[in-house]
Amino acid sequence: MNDVENVLLLSEDARSLIYALEGLNGNVIRVASCMEQLEAIVGTTNRLAINAPAAVEPTASALSAFPTVARQVRKLSEATQQSVAAMQVALKVVTDGIASGQNRLTRTNAIDLAPSVLTMDRLEILMSELVSRSASLTASISATSVRRENL
């Protein structure tokens, strides 16, 4: 592949990466939405654990079993909350990294090097032709000088 094709391929790859990052960012946003739903579930679980004693029939066996169930529900809620917090931190890092990468690729993609490379390619061809013609001209001048001397 020549330089022009390489630059054009680079530009195409940068565009493809931008679109891929946009899609990935959309997926991360959907995951963040799921985490918000999970947080809502955590809140509901906490409320259930707090309000369950009032909902239980006040019998001795139900009341004796309730504290154990309530502790388990609260532990589940706390563990879920910790998971949500950890996922939020991780998603923030990923989202920031994606945004940064997308910005860099967008900036790189905005630089259109194709005209410069095409110009360089044309200059190489012109220089090659000039060298060739210069050699021909030198040969012609030498031949003319030899003929003059022979006259």
Whether the CA torsion 110, 111, 114, 116 is positive or negative: it is positive
pLDDT tens readout for residues 55-94 = 555 655 656 667 777 787 788 888 888 888 888 887 888 8
pLDDT tens readout for residues 136-146 = 888 888 777 77
What CA–CA distances, in Å, run from 54 to 46, 49, 57, 84, 117?
A: 14, 10, 8, 29, 78
Give residue 94's Cα distance to chain centre. 9
pTM greater than the 0.85 cutoff: no
Mean pLDDT within 109-121: 72
pLDDT tens readout for residues 26-59 = 888 888 888 888 888 888 877 777 766 665 556 5
Cα 10 from Cα 16, distance rounded (Å): 10
Domain ranges of the chain: 3-112, 113-151
